[in-house]
Structure 1
Amino acid sequence: MASSGNSCNKSFCSDYFLVKPEEAGWVDILRLLFWSDVGRRKFVESPAAAQPRREPLSRRWLVFVSVVAMKLLHAIAGPLSGFGSAVEFWLNLLSLNGGFFTLILNFFRGKVVQPDRASASFVSFIGNMDKRLDLEKSRLFGHGEGDKAYFAYLSIMAAKLSYENHNFIRTTVNDVWNMKLIGSYDFWNDYQQKSTTQAFIFHDNLGTVVVAFRGTETFNSDDWSTDVDISWYEVPGLGRIHAGFMKALGLQRNHGWPRRQAAAKPETAYYAVRDLLKDLLQKNDKARLVVTGHSLGGALAALFPAVLALHEEAAVLERLEGVYTYGQPRVGDGAFGEFMEGVMTTYGFRHYRFVYSFDLVPRLPYDDSLMMFKHFGTCVYYNSFYQGKVVAEEPNKNYFSIFWLIPKFLNACWELIRSFTFPLYTGNFEYTESGLIRILRAAGLLVAGLPAHCPPDYVNSISLGSSDVFNSMVSQEAMKSQ
């Protein structure tokens, strides 16, 4: 397991709670469930160790699940990556050769087309769920500056595209979308000591610069470890923030969040994107900025303006039209949410957090007794019929609530049936679902909310949903500005 870097300088924060799964023994982990002095566990680092941090069972259970999950992810990192590579290779092999039977024919003819992972034709596992690339003309033309429907649609398509390789992204943005790619990047994680954060930047034909952070790759243990890490730092003035997301965005191991990154280190996401945006926006005084991401990418997109505010980067924040996230997990506590609401009011932008149906990720992590992590911004909720509404909080905010077990199962049954009848449901064969997403919908019968987290339903929600939800978004923004 890559070093967590928890032994580094923590003078940038006033409090912290860090778990170190690489130092956790199974007996010590089990003790979490029976002893409340969590701070005394050797795999937990906290300034309250001298005066043991006593936690209720609900909180200890979250720590237990987090540590066990990270240890298991470390144990299966190699096999998981290998399995994922094999699955992606097979899916692309079938696609490039026109299906299974044509592949067999090409094999005997000696004309099998071999996939190249770095090519513009190689599609990721996420991309194979939904191969739609063309932007719907109805969503692109006739829209003026500040059109929420346009930004929401462009953002989810960019968030979905962020999972692809650099050549695929370049070809799609430049040749399919007829927009201009500024760059596609792999950024350094100073704690994991490798490049694990990806993002790309482009500008559309209306002069809007879009930053899209990549979400969790399906077969990447490092990404999943970031997601399930229950650790947090309390930054003065900001509140408590998820440590894994901070590290992925660019937290410096021995310096926290200095205004400038140490020159000797590889570029991390926050500093590289910030400096690039400052240069781009300075050259075009009419350009606006949109930040987006799905899943983990949504968490990074939500955290990005917070660090900009910490560094008083007004030149960038004043040009920020909005943050659009999809299936985003919780990033910080209530104090962090209040800080961000103040930042949004000061600089005149909004964070729109799209949640589809029973998507499990936005409902994690959840602690009913302490509410350590909360959402902020404007929640745009879509049910499984793609009916949207602007709400304060999505229904069923605790994924583990027993009350919602039956509704979630029935909803999973409906979505599986609909997957085979989509052309009838929509009246459009362009919405025909792939075999891969149908398999995932079947898996949703066992793990409710799993297929709901995938990008296709977020694309469908915005494409098929009523425009009334975007009128509500505009109305809420007007109310916030008064």
Structure 2
Amino acid sequence: MDCDKRFSSGHLILKPEELRLSDLVRLILSGDVEKPRLVDSSDTTEPRFRRRILIFVSVVVLKILLLVSAPLSLFGSASEFVLNFLSHNTFSDVFLRGEVVIPEKSSPGYVSFVGYLDTRISLDTTARREDGHRFYAALCIMASKFAYENPARIKYVVEDYWKMKFLGMDNYWNEYLEKNTTQAFMMSDESSDGEETIVVSFRGTEPFNSEDWCSDFDITWYELPDIGRIHGGFMKALGLHKNYGWPKDPLPNPNRKSPLAYYAIRDKLKTLTCHNQRTRFVLTGHSLGGALAILFVAVLIMDGEVTLLDKIRGVYTYGQPRVGDSRFAAFMEKRLEEHDITYYRFVYNNDIVPRLPFDDKDLMFKHFGTCVFYDRRYDAKVLREEPNKNFFCPAAMVRMTSSAAMELVRSFTIAAREGPEFEEGWLQRVARVFGLFLPGISNHSPQDYVNAIRLGPSHVFRVHRNLRISN
């Protein structure tokens, strides 16, 4: 095994940039995974056809995403600018008075594409601190939603609307891609009795960022001894050291232009929590951000950061992809229970991302923790695993398309039933139409997760990890 993987006991690395048609044919027809240039594996053979199909699909999807990366990013930036331009300029301003406002991307008024899908700013007024997990779930989904915004806008909303303290937003380095790929912000909320809660919110999958989507569809993994197999792309985004894995402290690297996410956030939390013994923190994120939130806890456990682990109030993720295999899931379940860490993983209806990377009963990625599954009626069930866990089942497509059609109809009636705060804009309705063709994509919007927490039943938050929960 070369030095790039020496910290692990096994690995599977996909290299879609090396994709050739002949390699795809060889991969499908042969169990020899050493020869195709698009696969780097510690296993020299793969006799199972199902496994080779999973690798085939993942490589093809990754290759397509890499090919469309530049135009997709350009389209996203242009769409975001147009949305902001239209919101800053009325017809009369432009055509009658000749006044044009050019929106600035770094200003508090500049809204991300995700922000236009759900324009709500205010927190859930029905959630109280004494509600425990429901309060933090409602707070964290809003923090996860605003992690997509620029720092000035986050600061404006946190301090002016939520009346909390903004602690900063930073970009973090990925040593494998040699660029900033990870963002997270922190804020703090202090109760009347002096108890402080710090919220760490990781930014999720941006709609027009191919690299983010590559992380979701990639089945790359590294196996850590006595722990299990963990998703490679998510570990790299969190701060995995090239060649060295997870040393206790970050190793010097002259090419590094910004800090590594895990180490910078860990050290900042140590500083923030040492002044007040009653300070606790929660970790959260939507989509890719949710994966980074729970893996942050995993690395704390691997590093033996007991003091910080004991200060975790909870982990709340929304539409989170899978992060490890069954051994890793068992490892995390045991350690979370030892440190009394509550982990809620929220899944809405047919959201495709929690079903990624593709599941394989012998090898691949498994979920763990308490899954709160919401259907399109915002009813909720506490499950071990979300229904239809592999998503790509032809028999389920009719049901999912029917559900997407009902959600499109609901978008025109929900405000009349539930109140004006649930009114959906035209952009979200366009996403609902798109959901008729790919239901799992439209169900990934933060809009439905905000609605689910606010409208869903509260009894799901009374379920503890040590209770037996059914599938």
| Shared fold, TM over 0.5 | yes
1:10-63 CA deviation, whole Å, 9 max, x = no partner? 221100111112222232123322222223212211233xxx321422221221
User: In 1, are the aligned partners of 2:216 and 2:357 still within 8 Å (CA)?
Assistant: no
The residue type equivalent to 2:98 in the other structure is: G
Instruction: Report the equivalent of 2:28.
Output: 33
Instruction: Report the equivalent of 1:179.
Output: 164
For 1:291 and 1:47, locate their aligned partners in 2 and report how far apart those are by CA, in whole Å: 33
Instruction: Report the equivalent of 2:125.
Output: 137
1:276-333 CA deviation, whole Å, 9 max, x = no partner? 1111111121011100001000111111111000000001100111110000111000
For 1:81 and 1:9, locate their aligned partners in 2 and report how far apart those are by CA, in whole Å: 30
* 1:478, distance to aligned residue in structure 2 (A): 6.3
The residue type equivalent to 1:443 in the other structure is: F
Instruction: Report the equivalent of 2:45.
Output: 53
Instruction: Report the equivalent of 2:317.
Output: 325
Q: Where do 5+ consecutive residues of structure 1 fail to align?
A: 1-5
Instruction: Report the equivalent of 1:74.
Output: 66
Q: State which drifts further: 10-19 or 107-116.
A: 107-116
User: In 1, are the aligned partners of 2:414 and 2:423 still within 8 Å (CA)?
Assistant: yes
SS of the residue aligned with 2:443? helix
For 1:406 and 1:43, locate their aligned partners in 2 and report how far apart those are by CA, in whole Å: 35
User: In 1, are the aligned partners of 2:203 and 2:286 still within 8 Å (CA)?
Assistant: yes
Identity %: 48
- Asked if 1:437 corresponds to 2:428, the answer is yes
User: In 2, are the aligned partners of 1:158 and 1:212 still within 8 Å (CA)?
Assistant: yes
* 1:134, distance to aligned residue in structure 2 (A): 0.9
1:444-475 CA deviation, whole Å, 9 max, x = no partner? 1111221111100000001111222222x3xx
Of residues 417, 422, 429, the one that matches 2:414 is 422
Instruction: Report the equivalent of 1:335.
Output: 327
Instruction: Report the equivalent of 1:454.
Output: 445
SS of the residue aligned with 1:373? coil
Q: State which drifts further: 362-371 or 66-75.
A: 362-371
Instruction: Report the equivalent of 2:113.
Output: 125
* 1:386, distance to aligned residue in structure 2 (A): 0.6
User: In 2, are the aligned partners of 1:226 and 1:248 still within 8 Å (CA)?
Assistant: no
User: In 1, are the aligned partners of 2:359 and 2:389 still within 8 Å (CA)?
Assistant: no
The residue type equivalent to 1:127 in the other structure is: G
* 1:271, distance to aligned residue in structure 2 (A): 0.6
* 1:251, distance to aligned residue in structure 2 (A): 0.4
For 2:239 and 2:456, locate their aligned partners in 1 and report how far apart those are by CA, in whole Å: 36
User: In 2, are the aligned partners of 1:418 and 1:425 still within 8 Å (CA)?
Assistant: no
1:158-209 CA deviation, whole Å, 9 max, x = no partner? 0000000111111111111110011101100111100010000111133111
* 1:366, distance to aligned residue in structure 2 (A): 2.5
For 2:347 and 2:122, locate their aligned partners in 1 and report how far apart those are by CA, in whole Å: 23
Deviating runs (4+, > 6 A) in structure 1?
none
SS of the residue aligned with 1:32? helix
For 2:186 and 2:70, locate their aligned partners in 1 and report how far apart those are by CA, in whole Å: 31
Instruction: Report the equivalent of 1:280.
Output: 272
The residue type equivalent to 2:179 in the other structure is: K
Q: Where do 5+ consecutive residues of structure 2 fail to align?
A: none
Mapping for residues 193-212 of structure 1, pairs under 5 Å: 193-206=178-191, 207-212=196-201
For 2:215 and 2:184, locate their aligned partners in 1 and report how far apart those are by CA, in whole Å: 16
- Asked if 1:349 corresponds to 2:344, the answer is no
- Asked if 1:292 corresponds to 2:284, the answer is yes
For 1:30 and 1:354, locate their aligned partners in 2 and report how far apart those are by CA, in whole Å: 39
User: In 2, are the aligned partners of 1:39 and 1:54 still within 8 Å (CA)?
Assistant: no
SS of the residue aligned with 1:117? coil
Task: Pick closer, same or farther for the CA change 1:200–1:40 going to 2, 3 Å.
Answer: same
Q: State which drifts further: 362-371 or 333-342.
A: 362-371
Q: State which drifts further: 217-226 or 116-125.
A: 217-226
Q: What RMSD in Å do the two structures reach over aligned CA positions?
A: 1.6
- Asked if 1:257 corresponds to 2:252, the answer is no
- Asked if 1:16 corresponds to 2:4, the answer is no
SS of the residue aligned with 1:257? coil
For 2:231 and 2:47, locate their aligned partners in 1 and report how far apart those are by CA, in whole Å: 18
Of residues 390, 395, 398, the one that matches 1:403 is 395
User: In 1, are the aligned partners of 2:319 and 2:347 still within 8 Å (CA)?
Assistant: yes
